[in-house]
Amino acid sequence: MSITQDNAPGRLDGTDTRPTVVSISNVSKKFVIRKDNSLKERLVTLGRAGRRHSEEFWALKDVSLDIPAGSTIGLLGPNGSGKSTLLKAIGGIIEPTKGTITRRGRLAALLELGAGFHPDLTGRENVFLNASILGLSQAETEDKFDDILTFSGIGDFIDTQVKFYSSGMYVRLAFAVAIHTDPDVLLVDEVLAVGDEAFQRKCLDKIREFQQQGRTIILVSHSLGQVQELCDQAVVLSRGEVKFQGSAADAVKNFRDILEGRRIAEAEAAEPEEDANPGAVTKTEVIVEGREPGAEVQPGDTLLVRIEFSHTTSLDRWHSGFKIETNLGTQVYGTDSRMLGLVHEPLRGTASVEYRLTDVQLGGGPYFVHSFLAQSNGSHIAIQRQAARFVVADDDEASGVIRIKAAARSLPA
């Protein structure tokens, strides 16, 4: 199994001619979880009896991926799916139990908060320590030190022991060091979520700069919009196994399906006598009023969003609604029956609702509709993600997700 990417998004035909910078072949990783917590308990359970007090856990199971140079790959999956374990294995932090991982070029990893930092050393000392671990000489680090300090923005705290740093300061300094070591491959875990909004934007801008320079990035994030925005391709992991690989948009949809499956399974386990998913969105369609089915939406058109629902029991009070997103996962519009003051008749088996959107002025490109059925308090009963798709004609005079009447004129000097 390999991941390939070229100028055609979502292409996975194995024809990518770029060199492979990370090759993962049949990698599995086992951890032993001990159930005896104290030293006394461990001494008592030594030998054969001790086996009953430990449990094997396979965090990764036979994972194989080939990642070409210049690609940006997202790793998605529920908590405990093996994303961070795989990233650490790629970074050489842990060794796989089975299989092999080969890497080419200089690699920088921003994995977990404070990784590579010694708490009793100052920020300045940790910069030189961390940079040396990542392969820089002292002279190279001295040349880059001012840039590292400026990017981190921690100022005079650089000469303070890092054990007194906040989580945000940790991330700022660690990311600044990682990106200034001139890496060929950058590994980024969820730690970027710790920084403030301004610093996150700064980091994302740097990642885009790396992409333009043809560097390889492997990213773990729970921000699905971020993955769709940044990544060429994505891999979905579940229980240590690769469940999907392909375009970022398709991977996000697959990941959401896994989460919904888990939600239903947990609900069934908690209430085995009850139907964990009594309601469903059975159909969603978008109709362009006055046009043929499947026609492109033109500026000013009227859209009809028709949604059908079902529920196995009688539902006296309920709500419906939908959201419209771009292909990158950005929400551009959403409404529901509560917002519009519509009171539905009790739901007995099935029901249909039609929403009418007039004078639609969306920017050109594809859009997806997510439909939902909700209880009277607004909590969701069922969601149908990417339930329908429509395409808006391109705007020759502007770009973006909305259309605005614009004009321009030259001003006198």
Structure confidence by residue, pLDDT tens digits, 9-44: 333 345 567 789 999 999 999 988 766 566 666 566
Q: Which residue has the tokens 């004609």?
A: 393
Decide: residue 55, CB within 10 A, 0-12 exposed, 13-18 middle, 19+ buried.
exposed
The band of 73, judged by pLDDT with boundaries at 50, 70 and 90, is: very high
Amino acid (one-letter) located at 203: C
The Cα–Cα gap between 359 and 104 comes to: 54
Cα–Cα distances in angstroms (integers) from residue 310 to residues 222, 277, 334, 346, 354, in the given order: 31, 11, 21, 11, 15
**H-helix segments, 13-108:** 39-44, 83-90
Would you call 268 helix, strand, or coil by DSSP? helix
pLDDT of residue 37: 61
pTM: 0.66
Segment 266-283 shows an average pLDDT of 71
Q: In what order do the strands lie in the sheet with 233-238?
A: 107-110, 185-188, 216-220, 72-76, 233-238, 241-247
pLDDT of residue 287: 95
Considering only residues 295 and 115, tell me which one the structure prediction assigns the higher pLDDT: 295
Q: Which of 120, 137, 74, 330 lies closest to 225 in space, CA to CA?
A: 330
The band of 329, judged by pLDDT with boundaries at 50, 70 and 90, is: confident
The Cα–Cα gap between 37 and 35 comes to: 6
Question: Which CATH code for domain 278-392?
Answer: 2.70.50.60
pLDDT of residue 192: 63
Considering only residues 39 and 2, tell me which one the structure prediction assigns the higher pLDDT: 39
pLDDT of residue 283: 95
pLDDT of residue 262: 76
The Cα–Cα gap between 87 and 127 comes to: 22
pLDDT of residue 14: 52
Considering only residues 156 and 277, tell me which one the structure prediction assigns the higher pLDDT: 156
Could you give the percent of the chain with pLDDT greater than 90? 43
pLDDT of residue 49 exceeding 60, the answer is no
Q: What is the CATH class of 20-105+184-256?
A: alpha beta
pLDDT of residue 42: 59
Q: Which of 395, 251, 393, 384 lies closest to 305 in space, CA to CA?
A: 384
The band of 93, judged by pLDDT with boundaries at 50, 70 and 90, is: confident
The Cα–Cα gap between 89 and 174 comes to: 19
pLDDT of residue 17: 74
pLDDT of residue 394 exceeding 80, the answer is yes
Q: Which of 403, 402, 223 lies closest to 329 in space, CA to CA?
A: 223
8 A C-beta contact, residue 244 and residue 235: yes
Phi, psi of 151 (to 5 degrees): -65, -40
Lowest mean pLDDT among 40-54, 73-87, 111-125, 140-154: 40-54
pLDDT of residue 13: 40
Decide: residue 27, CB within 10 A, 0-12 exposed, 13-18 middle, 19+ buried.
buried
Lowest mean pLDDT among 21-25, 49-53, 310-314: 49-53
The Cα–Cα gap between 170 and 218 comes to: 21
- How many other CB atoms are there within 10 angstroms of residue 204's CB atom? 14
pLDDT of residue 10: 35
Lowest mean pLDDT among 191-200, 239-248, 340-349: 191-200
8 A C-beta contact, residue 23 and residue 86: no
Structure confidence by residue, pLDDT tens digits, 139-165: 999 999 999 999 888 888 999 998 898
pLDDT of residue 197 exceeding 80, the answer is no
Domain ranges of the chain: 20-105+184-256, 278-392
pLDDT of residue 400: 85
Cα–chain-centroid distance for residue 136? 31
Mean pLDDT value across the chain = 84
pLDDT of residue 273 exceeding 60, the answer is no
Segment 386-406 shows an average pLDDT of 88
pLDDT of residue 12: 39
pLDDT of residue 378: 85
Name the most confidently modeled range: 11-20, 127-136, 300-309, 404-413.
300-309
The Cα–Cα gap between 194 and 184 comes to: 24
pLDDT of residue 321: 96
Segment 75-96 shows an average pLDDT of 89
pLDDT of residue 323 exceeding 80, the answer is yes
8 A C-beta contact, residue 84 and residue 111: yes
Considering only residues 190 and 86, tell me which one the structure prediction assigns the higher pLDDT: 86
